[in-house]
Structure 1
Amino acid sequence: MKLSTLRLFALSTMLSISAIAGVAHAENPMVGGMPMYENKDIIDNAVTSPDHTTLVAAVQAAGLVDALKGDGPFTVLAPVNAAFDALPAGTVESLLKPENKDQLTKILTCHVIPAKALAADISKMAMDDGGTHEVDTLGGCKLWLKADNGMVTITDEAGGVANVTIADVIQSNGVIHVIDKVLLPKM
């Protein structure tokens, strides 16, 4: 079993124990000016955020709605519309075409970690690993998580760096961290 798989298993176990112990969380942050509800799943909350209309359209085009409504737990790194707008002209339109569904699915699943990782968990893992923690995503990509002075950043396989702008948006099937850049796999 790979070390990163063991770490994800340990993290999942730790989070399950924390949930059973009744660890309380502060009220969920608003996203896009809209309330996010802990008893709703990732999709049901995401569709209400005006800052995530492009992400929601992409998830629908890739056929990932049912997967992200599943039990999880998932950590979704959710790029805002401006992050998609920052991609080269025509990129989003091209990715949304049916013939590019596989590429779109790969990109989107590289934004999903198959565990529930709150910002404090990410900070601890990064600190335990000397400043940066490597994770595998559902899409088979690697991401490098870093925490510094309370800020979490994510580096993708292409060398891009996204900042977590809103952390710990608790969902019934995981957690969303809002980010300011689209993460890209190595192509």
Structure 2
Amino acid sequence: MSCQDKENREDSNVDLIPAEEKSVEDTAQDRPMERSYTLAKMRENNELSSFTQELQQSGLEEEFEGKEGIYTFFAPSNAAFDRIPARDLERDSSEDAVETRRDRLRYYMVEGDMTLGYLREQIRTSEDDAYEFETALGEKLWATEEGGDIVLTDVLGNKARILTSEMDEYRGAYHVIDNVLQPGEE
């Protein structure tokens, strides 16, 4: 299924409802809204094995076990991870190195259910054709439309195109992107 097909389905079926705007009745009705559900769905996608392995090894995945809430992940494909220099992937097990890896992964997470349709609407209604939003790390990403595709730009100017999207109306979404994004200056 193409991104366009997913977008058409999402536009007609799902609106973004930030977690803080859901009513008590909505939350109770939608249970279980486990963040781990989206992580489990990502693990099933062979194109994301490097990203999901990184989530698991960093310990960040454990933080989600049994917790409620909806998150959207912008997950780099395996091909994107393959372009990272080997020295940047070395497994330093010091607490500082592990926390740095967790922070990098939080940069790919956004609270709420951010569909392609929602992103397109925000881009089209923005003054400068760029939708700025904050990640779970507290840093910014910008979404723009280029040639019909949604492109994310990080604070350093790196760009990543959304290749495919998967979502569940009550449990979150993930988008496969074609590049690795970086939070802040290293």
Q: TM-score range by the shorter chain?
A: 0.7 to 0.9
Q: CA deviation at 1:16?
A: 5.3
* SS across alignment from 2:75: strand
Alignment of 1:64-143 (within 5 A): 64-69=60-65, 70-92=67-89, 94=90, 96-99=91-94, 100-130=97-127, 131-143=129-141
Aligned to 2:53, which of 54, 57, 66?
57
Q: Distance in 2 between matches of 1:51 and 1:160?
A: 21
* SS across alignment from 2:113: coil
CA contact (8 A) 2:56 2:62 kept: no
Corresponding residue for 2:11?
none
Q: Distance in 2 between matches of 1:16 and 1:147?
A: 29
TM-score (norm 2): 0.74
Q: Distance in 2 between matches of 1:170 and 1:67?
A: 21
Question: How big is each residue's C-alpha offset from its partner over 1:92-123, in whole Å with a ceiling of 9 and x where there is no partner?
Answer: 2x2x4322111111110000011111001001
Q: Distance in 2 between matches of 1:12 and 1:51?
A: 28
CA contact (8 A) 1:79 1:180 kept: yes
Q: Distance in 1 between matches of 2:147 and 2:22?
A: 27
Identical amino acids, percent of aligned pairs = 22
Cα RMSD between the aligned structures?
2.3
Q: Distance in 1 between matches of 2:144 and 2:21?
A: 19
Q: Distance in 1 between matches of 2:103 and 2:19?
A: 27
TM-score (norm 1): 0.74
CA contact (8 A) 2:109 2:136 kept: yes
Q: Distance in 2 between matches of 1:151 and 1:48?
A: 24
Give the AA of the match of 1:83. A
Which consecutive residues of structure 1, in runs of 5 or more, have no partner in the other structure? 1-9, 21-39
Which consecutive residues of structure 2, in runs of 5 or more, have no partner in the other structure? 1-15, 27-35
Q: Distance in 1 between matches of 2:110 and 2:51?
A: 16
Give the AA of the match of 2:93. P
Change over 3 Å in CA distance of 1:98–1:51 after alignment to 2 = same
